[in-house]
Structure 1
């Protein structure tokens, strides 16, 4: 889907301080949404093993629905679809991915992950993304999806004391690239967490996005977090 330009007007004399330029893409942003940061790959949770070793330095862009002046060449598919109300778009053109997150969440450092956002008050309600290099070109090259998902949930996402339950699994193809989104619950003796995970392969990388919350809140926030899981896209770099 292509959009040649998107324009919203606003008055500012410091536009050059809010301009990010890369690969002929010009995006005027509020300065609070442009940051350079790095991620260190070390284990914090089991799923951290899905990330690449070493450090990444990247320029991140968070685009909201507020007053922006925007000219996009070429267009990003995520923006062409239109950002849902009460969400913002995170676009990483360097590492080749994008997704939505709730507009009242804030960015934070999550060890072993390339990007992460969390609820301001409920820190266990968060989204994070990691990737590792791969010579595969499609997630089906990893094996049958039922086995791939079970292995991830049982051996990567869960701790030894947790019991896993896979609730649902869905596949979709966008621009010839296959995505698999699955819902799962991890139960500990004193705590349970529910989450969606979306996996995809592109740019020689195996991407994993996880968005979840305390299982007690899951019914209230499930649909909200499903938007995040479904919005994940791999961008060609």
Structure 2
């Protein structure tokens, strides 16, 4: 008597990999929804320069014209310096733009977070048109004089915030290039005030400039060492 081989159990299906949707790009959808609710103008705002050891925080606010949105807007961190420069000119040509900055002295007095929020609010007030709604990058709303919505990673999601990030970044970079020309030896025109090794070495060798943030630990340490070196040891002994 013949026996039939037992049927094989079906092999389990291989797990499905998630589809690659590509990089996230900012859109104008939030602004369009606001327009449909009768809210106009709508602005996006962002800042550049929270992390550096030197230089101001620069904030920008932008109201985009729905009929003349420059192509290629994106989070400024995802763009090359050359592309940012091109988009900077295009944004300024077709949009309403406001810019403000918080100096190193204000940063030292108020702390970097409060100084950044102050600069963002000032940038909105610098707009030629008073917006009825403002989208701001991050988790903090600002005193914009109108409705305000905070959007985490807003520069990667909201087109008007992306435009503001480009304006803020290019403005600050150009300013730091001028600081570099006025204070040679620090390399500001290359690192824009960030605490890279080149900057750390120059800070240790040359000391702090008026553009350094003395409340930031690496600068505070250098300033403290310089102050200690100026103390007369005979006065300490007495």
TM bucket, shorter chain? under 0.3
Identify the structure with bigger relative contact order (alpha carbons < 8 Å, sequence gap 6+): 2
Structure number with the higher helix fraction is 2
Larger % of strand: which?
A: 1
User: Which has the greater radius of gyration?
Assistant: 2
TM-score (norm 2): 0.21
